[in-house]
Amino acid sequence: MVKNNEIIKLRKVCKYYYLGGEAIKAVDNINLIIHKGDFVAIVGPSGSGKSTMMNLVGALDLPTEGDVFLDNINIKLLNESELALLRRKKIGFVFQTFNLIPTLTAVENVMLPMIFNGVDSEERKERAEILLKNMGLEHRLNHLPNELSGGERQRVSIARALANDPEVILADEPTGNLDSKRKQEIAEMFEELSKRGKTIILVTHDLEVAKHAKKKYQLKDGRIVK
């Protein structure tokens, strides 16, 4: 295996969906390399293939054609357990709708990825509390998601994404459900994470937020146009 600092590489990647017998090209022949430590924004209107690309980069889905490399591993060659392991170790997900588990408190939500990773209970509790404190949520540790504001929820979900200390943070419209003040807050948080060496991939249609990124790719009809 080549030792380089390419954390994500997409080579001639296509993803088709079949709707009523007709193939829809959600992602059409994309080539992209993201290096360790990059802060990349992928922008485009809805339906441009952003989310599909995001799923491919995050090893949540496999390409119809072409290859996706995550830390130089071709995800096509892995089985489901290996994919799960790869996601767990390499990637932290942040979703537009936060996707917190509604029955678990903030600290339990942050602990969840560590449960799957087999971290022992004391260590994960300590680590979850530190992560939430860093997000300014020390007073919200034992609150359920529905007791938190939108901005607070997104900060919990960022803390959760950081739980297993992944190299890449993959955020899909992380500010889509937030007002402009919270938007700014979250965007700055990503900037801060980037400074600390995390690779950030921000998928958004919000150009304000995308401005914080160092590189920008524009997606249209499944292709990178800029």
Binding site for another protein (CB under 8 A): 51, 55, 58, 60-61, 80-81, 84-85, 87-89, 92-93, 95, 99, 101-104, 112-113, 115-118, 121, 160-161, 163-164
Closer to another protein by Cβ: residue 164 or 175: 164
Rank residues 46 and 103 by Cβ distance to another protein and give the closer one: 103
Least distance CB 168 / another protein (angstroms): 13
Which residue number, 145 or 212, has a Cβ lying nearer to another protein? 145
CB of 183 to another protein, least distance (A): 22
Residues 189, 155 contacting (CB under 8 angstroms): yes
Residue 224 CB burial class (10 angstroms; 0-12, 13-18, ≥19):
buried
Taking the complex as a whole, the smallest distance from the CB of residue 201 to another protein amounts, in Å, to: 14
Comparison of 23 and 101: residue with beta carbon closer to another protein:
101
Our CB check for another protein shows the closer of 73 and 104 to be: 104
Instruction: Please state the closest distance from residue 176 (CB atom) to another protein, in A.
Output: 14
CA distance 15 to 64: 5
Residue 55: CB partners within 8 Å, gap ≥ 6?
61
Closest to another protein by CB, 26 or 40: 26
Q: At its nearest, how many Å lie between another protein and the CB of residue 226?
A: 26
Exposure pattern of 163-190 as b/e (b: 16+ CB <10 Å)? bbebbbbbbbbbbbbbeeebbebbbebb
- Are residues 87 and 58 in contact, defined by beta-carbon separation less than 8 angstroms? yes
Structure tokens at 112: 């969840």
Length of the chain, in residues? 226
Q: In the structure encoding, which two tokens stand for residue 11, read together?
A: 């080579």
Q: Considering the complex, what minimum distance in angstroms separates the CB of residue 88 from another protein?
A: 3
